[in-house]
């Protein structure tokens, strides 16, 4: 089969498109013919290498996979799935790891997945829309709803709002009846955030975003009436970690699922007790979340934000756009 392969950790010179043996489905697995695969913020991180995370090389990137059932390992034929069924893959498999991260992903023609890790795609949801959902939207769903408990009337500020997780957080904030505020890095991305429903945007390219937030939403105060926003979604980390405290209302919640710009930022725990902040971590999604997202895509409540759809052969173009921070929403490849 054709596959995109990372041959070693490093830069994009270590990415090639090559031919590999077709996977043989293990007992209990279904062979899926990939129709669409989406990139995530972690795809460049994996190529570079993440301390503490072991990715066996050669590696196939791509954690978001939609396709059709094409074959069966022992024990699953005649069960829930039949050839040609349209399915979305839940890419985290206990015991094997996360596809595209520590296990081989879907930037290729065929993947072997446990039959238990497939979710049916509704007829009116395209492969490309479905492939946009699992990792970024699933993570946003768990972080915002299950863990973050965002509620009607709250103000929710999202840092790095133009990415896969971020654009979904903006949409979920709106669906929950919140005031959605997107912080982004350019005027063009700011305009696109307004177009997908953000109530307000802050262009960090025009100056310190926290200062701009204080000007608009007020200064957090330990006593009396407090300014600031109720919730900050902060998977950027780095210098933006403590900076965010300058914009978070007393009693506010900071949600995180990652650290795009640094996982060990300096902390200032005085803010935590003085302003009684809650820091809430969130990791991954449940398979139920993926079913819910597909149902929302089917009935129109959720429209996956897709930046580009290119053939798999153009992987490097989409990869470069992602690494250069030029993608708005999801970069999807068709296979
Ligand atoms: N724990 C989990 O289960 C889980 C799952 C999925 C993702 N994540 C994490 O969530 C984060 C977002 O993932 P994603 O797939 O949405 O990524 P993405 O599509 O690449 O979006 C990330 C956004 O962050 C901003 N950004 C990029 N580089 C930055 C930098 N150096 N400094 C500050 N901001 C930067 C950009 O937005 P602007 O240009 O608008 O600022 C970019 O669009 C990543 O850290 C990822 O590892 C965690």
Taking only the tens place, the pLDDT of each residue in 92-115 is 999 999 999 999 999 999 999 999
Per-residue pLDDT, averaged over 273-288, amounts to: 98
Mean pLDDT rounded to a whole number for the chain: 97
Taking only the tens place, the pLDDT of each residue in 185-232 is 999 999 999 999 999 999 999 999 999 999 999 999 999 999 999 999
From the list 240, 277, 245, 279, the residue with the least C-alpha distance to 259 is 240
Coil, strand, or helix at residue 248?
Answer: strand
Domains and CATH numbers, the chain: 2-132+304-334 (3.90.180.10), 136-281 (3.90.180.10)
pLDDT recorded at residue 129? 98
How far away, in angstroms, is 157 Cα from ligand 1 center?
A: 15
Q: Measured between alpha carbons, how far is 250 from 242 in angstroms, rounded to an integer?
A: 14
Which element (helix H / strand E) includes 123?
A: none
Residue with CA nearest ligand 1 atom 36: 160
Pocket flag, ligand 1, residue 165 (CB < 6 Å): yes
CB neighbours of residue 161 within 10 Å: 27
State the closest ligand 1 atom to the C-alpha of 259, by its place in the atom list counted from 1: 45
Pocket flag, ligand 1, residue 182 (CB < 6 Å): no
How far away, in angstroms, is 258 Cα from ligand 1 center?
A: 8
Q: Measured between alpha carbons, how far is 186 from 201 in angstroms, rounded to an integer?
A: 10
Pocket flag, ligand 1, residue 135 (CB < 6 Å): yes
Instruction: Please report the sign of the dihedral spanned by the C-alpha atoms of residue 97, residue 98, residue 102, residue 107.
Output: positive
Pocket flag, ligand 1, residue 258 (CB < 6 Å): yes
How far away, in angstroms, is 215 Cα from ligand 1 center?
A: 26
State the closest ligand 1 atom to the C-alpha of 184, by its place in the atom list counted from 1: 40
State the closest ligand 1 atom to the C-alpha of 164, by its place in the atom list counted from 1: 16
For 248, the token pair is 């978070």
Contact 164, 137 (CB under 8 A): yes
Residue with CA nearest ligand 1 atom 7: 136
Confidence band of 26 (pLDDT split at 50, 70, 90): very high
Pocket flag, ligand 1, residue 61 (CB < 6 Å): no
Pocket flag, ligand 1, residue 163 (CB < 6 Å): yes
Taking only the tens place, the pLDDT of each residue in 237-250 is 999 999 999 999 99
> Probe ligand 1: pick from 39, 45, 163, 210, max atoms within 8 Å of CB?
163
How far away, in angstroms, is 165 Cα from ligand 1 center?
A: 7
For 28, the token pair is 């209990």
pLDDT recorded at residue 322? 97
CB neighbours of residue 288 within 10 Å: 12
How far away, in angstroms, is 284 Cα from ligand 1 center?
A: 14
From the list 228, 35, 232, 46, the residue with the least C-alpha distance to 148 is 232
pLDDT recorded at residue 255? 98
Q: Measured between alpha carbons, how far is 289 from 17 in angstroms, rounded to an integer?
A: 32
> Probe ligand 1: pick from 53, 260, 328, max atoms within 8 Å of CB?
260
Pocket flag, ligand 1, residue 162 (CB < 6 Å): yes
The string of DSSP codes covering 263-309 is SS----THHHHHTT-EEEE-----HHHHHHHHHHHHTTS----EEEE
Which element (helix H / strand E) includes 165?
A: helix 164-175
Confidence band of 84 (pLDDT split at 50, 70, 90): very high
Pocket flag, ligand 1, residue 283 (CB < 6 Å): yes
Residue with CA nearest ligand 1 atom 35: 160
pLDDT recorded at residue 49? 95
Judged by phi (left if over 0) then psi (alpha if -120 to 50, else beta), residue 325 lies in left
pLDDT recorded at residue 91? 98
CB neighbours of residue 191 within 10 Å: 12
Contact 60, 5 (CB under 8 A): yes
Q: Measured between alpha carbons, how far is 142 from 269 in angstroms, rounded to an integer?
A: 26
């Amino acid at each position: 089969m054709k596959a995109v392969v990372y041959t070693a950790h490093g830069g994009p010179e270590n990415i090639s498109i090559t031919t590999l043996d077709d996977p043989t489905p293990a007992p209990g697995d279904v062979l899926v013919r990939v129709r669409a695969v989406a990139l995530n913020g972690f795809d460049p991180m994996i190529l570079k290498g993440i301390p503490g995370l072991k990715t066996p090389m050669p590696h196939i990137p791509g954690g978001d996979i939609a396709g059709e059932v094409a074959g069966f390992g022992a024990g699953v034929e005649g069960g829930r799935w039949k050839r040609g069924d349209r399915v979305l893959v839940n890419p985290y498999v206990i015991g094997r790891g996360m596809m595209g991260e520590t296990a081989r992903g879907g930037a290729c023609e065929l993947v072997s997945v446990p039959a238990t890790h497939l979710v049916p795609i509704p007829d009116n949801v395209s492969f490309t829309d479905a492939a946009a959902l699992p990792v970024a939207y699933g993570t946003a769903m768990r972080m915002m709803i299950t863990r973050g408990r965002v509620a009607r009337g709250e103000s929710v500020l999202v840092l790095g709002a133009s990415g896969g997780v971020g654009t979904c957080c903006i949409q979920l904030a709106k669906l929950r009846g919140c005031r959605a505020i997107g912080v982004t890095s350019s005027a063009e991305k700011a305009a696109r955030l307004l177009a997908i429903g953000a109530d307000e945007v802050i262009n960090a390219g025009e100056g310190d975003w926290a200062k701009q937030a204080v000007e608009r939403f007020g200064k957090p105060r330990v006593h009396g009436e407090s300014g600031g926003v109720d919730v900050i979604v902060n998977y950027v980390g780095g210098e933006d970690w403590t900076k965010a405290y300058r914009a978070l209302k007393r009693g506010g919640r900071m949600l995180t699922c990652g650290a795009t710009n640094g996982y060990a930022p300096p902390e200032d725990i005085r803010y935590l007790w003085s302003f009684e902040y809650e820091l809430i971590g969130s990791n991954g999604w449940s398979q139920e979340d993926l079913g819910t997202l597909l149902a929302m895509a089917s009935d129109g409540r959720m429209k996956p934000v897709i930046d580009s759809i290119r053939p798999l052969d153009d992987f490097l173009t989409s990869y470069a756009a992602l690494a250069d921070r030029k993608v708005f929403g999801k970069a999807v490849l068709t296979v």
